[in-house]
Amino acid sequence: MEGRQQQPQQRGELLPPGPAAPAAAGSERRPEEEEEGKDVAGGGALGRPLGPTPSQSRFQVDLVAEGAGRPAEEPRKAGGDGGAAGKGSEEAKGRFRVNFVDPSAGDESPGEPGGGSSEGGNVSFQNGGDTVLSEGSLHSGGHHHYYYDTHTNTYYLRTFGHNTMDAVPRIDHYRHTAADLGEKLIRPSLAELHDELDKEPFEDGYANGEEGTPAGEAAATYTPDSKGVVKFGWIKGVLVRCMLNIWGVMLFIRLSWIVGQAGIGLSVVVIGMATVVTTITGLSTSAIATNGFVRGGGAYYLISRSLGPEFGGAIGLIFAFANAVAVAMYVVGFAETVVELLKENGTLMVDEMNDIRIIGAITVVILLGISVAGMEWEAKAQIVLLVILVLAIGDFVIGTFIPLDSKKPKGFFGYKAEIFMENFGPDFRHEETFFSVFAIFFPAATGILAGANISGDLADPQSAIPKGTLLAILITTLVYAGIAVSVGSCVVRDATGNVNNTIVTELTNCTTAACKLNYDFSSCQTGCQYGLMNNFQVMSMVSGFAPLISAGIFSATLSSALASLVSAPKIFQALCKDNIYPAFQMFAKGYGKNNEPLRGYLLTFLIALGFILIAELNVIAPIISNFFLASYALINFSVFHASLAKSPGWRPAFKYYNMWISLVGAILCCIVMFVINWWAALLTYVIVLGLYIYVTYKKPDVNWGSSTQALTYLNALQHSIRLSGVEDHVKNFRPQCLIMTGAPNARPALLHLVHAFTKNVGLMICGHVHMGPRRQAMKELSTDLAKYQRWLIKNKMKAFYAPVHAEDLRDGGQYLMQAAGLGRMRPNTLVVGFKKDWRQGDMRDVETYINLFHDAFDVQYGVVVIRLKEGLDISHLQGQEELLSSQEKSPCAKDVIVKVDYSKKSETDTSIAFAPSSSERTPTLHKEEDEDGKTPTQPLLKKDSKSPSSPLNLADQRLLDASTQFQKKQGKSNIDVWWLFDDGGLTLLIPYLITTKKKWKDCKIRVFIGGKINRIDHDRRAMATLLSKFRIDFSDIMVLGDINTKPKKENIAAFEEMIEPFRLHEDDKEQEVADKMKEDEPWRITDNELELYKTKTYRQIRLNELLKEHSSTANIIVMSLPVARKGAVSSALYMAWLEALSKDLPPILLVRGNHQSVLTFYS
C-alpha cells in the first residue's frame, strides 16, 4: 500500500471541493483499478493514470475530515474500493488541503493533522509552496507545513472558475536546477496537458511514458542550506570595498607629485580621463550585472556569461592572477612605508630590501588569516580600515587650513591665490610627459570591480553592484580632484626647508609665489628636498597630525591587499567550477557555509609571497594594470556585443548604458594599456589571445547563451536572407546533398564519402524517416535530433540531421525533398545507399525505394546511389562506435568486445532504413578493454554476457573494415569516372571535388567514355579539349568502342536467373489472372517489358564486364546512373539493372544530375 499512497502525493490533480467530489471519484473509476484496490484520489476523476511524474510542482488536494482533522487518505487505507473514498469525503464537508510536495524528500511524509476547527479548512504548502513564504523558508530542507487561510492561498488556483492542471505563472518555474534562492519547480509539460490519456498506466510508472527529467532529479537531491550564510548589502559589500580599493597609496604619496608635474589644471584632466574610463566600465558592469541573476566569480562570471567561455576563460585566469600579484604589490607598498619609518628612527633589522621582504611576508600571513577566518571577519576589517582612511583624509583637509610658520620653509603657506595661479599650469621635469604622469596615476583609479568580484557573497547583486560601484567612483573622484586642487593651492613646487631663506627686504621684481610670500627658494635650481616636486610626504607635512597620514597609508595598502586576496580565489574558484581548464579542477572545492575556496586562498598566498620575495615591483606594476584594463575592455565590449546581437534575452534592469559608449570605453581601455606601457600591453594581448585559442580548441561543453551565440545566429540569418535575393549561377553550383542515412551512425561509410565532396563546399543533410506509431515517433524525433546532431559535431561532420515522421519511406523522402533546407541552402542532390538485400526482402520496399528516385527527378534533384560490396549498414553491430573509435585512435588497439544482435533481422541496406522504436533499437553499448593493451588478432564478439567471447564472423569484420575506409588517407590510386551520358556535368564534378580534399589529393582521375571503334582518337581528343576547358586535371581518357558488344552467355544466364522470381510470365497465364496479378504486384516484370528493354539490359551486363576489366583496382568508381522511364520500367527490372551493373566492384557511385549544367568554361 505504501507505493499506492505515494502516488497521489506526487500527482497533482485538484478535486472540486464539496460533496460532489467523491461521487466523481467513485463513478469514473475503472473496474480494473477497483479490483487492484488502487488509490485514485484525483486521477480517476480526470480519467488519468496515477504515478510519479517528473513534475514535483503539482498540488494535491487531500480532503480533510471535519471532526478528526486528518486527511481523507487515512480512511482510504482500509480498503481500495470507491466506498472508502466516498465515506472520507462525506466527513470532509467541503474542506480540502493543498500539499506542495517537497522534491527533496525521498520518502513520503504523512500529512500533519490540520486543525479541523478552523472555519475555512487548511492549506499546507510544503517547502516553497507559495510566494508568501519568506526567503528563509525557501532555503529550508526537510518538511515544514505552513498553514494558511484557504481562501487567500487557494484563490489563485481556482481563479478560472474551474480546477485545472495548468500551473499559474510563478518564479519557481524559472529557476535553475540548484538555485540558491529556493526549489526549482517544474510546470506541467505540454504532453501532460495535451496528449491523449492512456488506457493503461505505463509500466515505468510515468504518465504517457515520460521519463524523469534531469532537472527534476537534480532538484530532488539539492537542498540549499540557509543557516550561517553571510550575505552583504550594497554598502558593506560593494561601496566600502570599491572605495578602499580605489583609494590606494597614490592618494597620499603620489598625488602631490602629479600636481607638481602636471599642474592643477592638467591633474584634474588626468583624474577626469581616468574617471571617464572607469565610469563607462562601471555603467557596463551595471548593465551586465542587472541582466539576470549573478553568481560568484565577479568579472569572470560577467564576461563568460556574456561573451562565452573563450573570452571568459582567458580573462578569468589573468584577472585572478592579476589580483594575486596585486596582493604582493600592495603589501610591498605597505612594507616600504614601514621601512621608511624604521629608517627615520634608525632601527633597520637587516637592510632595506630584506626588511621589505620580512615585513611583507609577515603581513601577507596575517592577511591570509583574516581571509580564511571568513568573509564576515574580512568585512569587519574593511570597515575599520575605511574609518582610518577617512580620518586620514579629514586630517589632511583640516591641516590645509592651519598654516604654521614652521612649515613655511618647507613650502606650505595655506590657501593662497598666488600659489594656485603658479601651480595651475604644467611644469614637466625629468623627461616626464602628460601621458607618463597619466600612466602613473591610472592604477589609482582601478579597483572598481572589487565589489563585483565577490558577487556570490552579495544579498542582491543586481541592485548592489550598480549602486555601490557608481557611487564609489563618484566619491573617490571628487576626493582625488579636491585633494589635487587643495594641495596645489597650498604648497609651492620647490622649497629648501631652510628657515634662513626668509626675505627681509621686500623685493619688487618677484616672479615666484614664494617670493611674493617673502621666501627665496631660488637656490632650488640645483635641487631641494621639499615642495610638491621633491617631497613625496607632502600630505604628512600639511596634515594636522602626521602619524594619522601614515595610518592612512597603511589602511589604503592593506585594504587593497585584502580585497585582492579575497577576489582572486573567488574568481579562480568560479573558473574552476566551470571546468574550463580541467587541470585546475581541484581548486573548485569550497568549504564551510560560505563555500570558501580555501585551496584558492593558499594558492593566492603562495603567488603573492613569491612576488613579495622578488620585491621588484616596478616591472610587475604595469603588467597588473594592463591585466585589469584588459578585463575592463572586455566588460565594455560585452555590453556592446550583447546589444549588437539583439538577443531577446538581453534586457538589463539598469537602463543608463549605451552600446556605442561601451564600445568607446573598450577602445579607450585598449589605448590606455599602450599609454601605460606598450610592451606590457602587447604581452597582455598575446596572453589573452593564447588562452582564447586554447579554450576555443578545447571546446568546453558549456552553453551559457552567450552573445557570441546570438550574433552567430543573427549573422547566419542575415546572410541567408541576403543569399535568397541572389539568383543561382552555374559557376557557384555546389552539390547540396540530402543523404538518406537513417541514424547517421548506422552508415558511417556513406556519410564519410559524401562528406569528402561536400565538406566546406556544399550543404549536407542527413535525412532519417521515422515510421511506426506517431506518438512514439514524435518522442524519438526530439531526442534523436539533439543526440545525432551532437554525434555529427563530435565526429567533425559538417552536416545537419533532419528527422521526419511519415507513414512510409516514400512519404518521408518526399517531405524531406520538398521541405529540407532554407532559402538558397536547399538540397539539389539525393544520395542513397544501394539496397543490397532487395531480393530477400519485401518487394513493396523495393517499389518504395525505386519510387524515391522518380520523386527526386520530379523535383529536379540529381540522384547518387552509393554501393559498397560489403554493405553500408552496421547498425546490427551494436557497439560499432566504440569499435571504430578504438581502431582509429588508439595507437595500441585494445580488445573491443562488440555485442552482435542476431535475434532480429538486420536492417536493410537502403540508405533510409526504417527506424524501429527506441526500445527495440537502442542497445546498451558494450566495451571491454584488456588492461595490458596487447594488440588482438581480431575483435571479439559478445553474444551474451555469460557466454564466452567468440570472434566476429568474417562478413561482419569486413563490413566494419569497409565502414571506415573513407576516413583513412587514400594512397596513390585512381578515381575512375565513367561519363557515359551527359547529365549536366555532376558525374564529373563530384570526383573533381573529392580530389581537392587532403585525404584524396594523391588520387588521379581517369575518364572513360563510350564511342565508335572507327573514331576513337577523335572522341578522345574532343573529351580532352572539353576537360581542359573545364580546367579539370585527368591522367587518362579511355574511349570504349565495345560497349554495345553482346555480354557473355553465362552473365546473361545469371541475370535471367536473378530476375526469375520477379517475372509475371503473363503469356503462361490467363489474361484476367495476369492483369489482376500486375495490379496487385506492380513491380513484377512482364515478358513484353523484358523484350522491349533487352538492349538496355544487355548494356548493363556488358558495362559490368568492362568495369571489372578496367576499374577493378580503382579506389572509387563514379558512373552515370541509368534512368528508367516512370510507369514503363517495373521496379524489379530497374533494381536488377542496378544490381547487374554494380556487383562485385570497388566502391561505386552511380550518379545522375538533373540535366542542367553544373560546369562552365566561361569566366
What integer pLDDT is reported at residue 114 of this predicted model? 40
What integer pLDDT is reported at residue 670 of this predicted model? 93
546-565 pLDDT, tens digit each: 889 888 988 888 888 888 88
What integer pLDDT is reported at residue 1080 of this predicted model? 82
Measured CA to CA, the distance from residue 535 to residue 259 in angstroms comes to 12
Measured CA to CA, the distance from residue 1092 to residue 577 in angstroms comes to 74
What integer pLDDT is reported at residue 616 of this predicted model? 67
**Strand 737-740 and strand 764-770: pairing?**
parallel
Measured CA to CA, the distance from residue 795 to residue 745 in angstroms comes to 10
Residue 311: name the closest of 704, 835, 871 by CA: 704
- Residue 834 DSSP class: -
DSSP-derived 3-state class of residue 146:
strand
Residue 255 backbone class (left: φ over 0; alpha: ψ -120 to 50; beta: rest): alpha
What integer pLDDT is reported at residue 477 of this predicted model? 94
Burial category of 929 from C-beta neighbours within 10 Å (exposed 0-12, middle 13-18, buried 19 and up):
middle
Q: Taking the mean position of all CA atoms in its chain, how far away is CA 649?
A: 15
- Look up residue 535 and give its three cell numbers: 617631497
Residue 955: name the closest of 946, 947, 963, 945 by CA: 963
Contacts 24+ apart (CB under 8 A), 935-942: 935/892, 935/893, 936/893, 936/894, 936/895, 939/883, 939/895, 939/896, 939/897, 939/898, 940/895, 940/896, 940/897, 940/898, 941/897, 941/898, 941/899, 941/900, 942/897, 942/898, 942/899, 942/900
**Strand 950-951 and strand 940-941: pairing?**
antiparallel
Residue 367: name the closest of 602, 135, 712 by CA: 602
DSSP-derived 3-state class of residue 455:
helix
49-64 pLDDT, tens digit each: 444 444 444 444 444 4
Residue type for position 449: L
Given CA atoms 940, 942, 945, 948 in this order, what sign does their dihedral have? negative
pTM of this prediction exceeds 0.75: no
What integer pLDDT is reported at residue 267 of this predicted model? 94
Residue that the C-alpha cell 514535483 belongs to: 56
HSE of 498, CA atoms in CB hemisphere, 13 A: 12
pLDDT, the chain, mean = 75
DSSP-derived 3-state class of residue 1151:
strand
Q: How far is CA 680 from CA 233, 314, 339, 677, in A?
A: 37, 17, 29, 5
Measured CA to CA, the distance from residue 668 to residue 437 in angstroms comes to 17
Measured CA to CA, the distance from residue 30 to residue 325 in angstroms comes to 73
Listing from the earlier edge strand, what are the strands of the sheet with 145-149? Answer: 59-63, 96-100, 122-126, 145-149
Residues in the chain predicted with pLDDT less than 70, given as ranges, are 1-164, 176-183, 197-228, 501, 503-509, 525-526, 615-618, 878-952
**Strand 1004-1010 and strand 59-63: pairing?**
unpaired
CB-based contact 386:243 (threshold 8 Å): yes
What integer pLDDT is reported at residue 1150 of this predicted model? 92
- Residue 1018 DSSP class: H
Q: Taking the mean position of all CA atoms in its chain, how far away is CA 988?
A: 41
Phi, psi of 851 (to 5 degrees): -65, -25
- Residue 1045 DSSP class: S
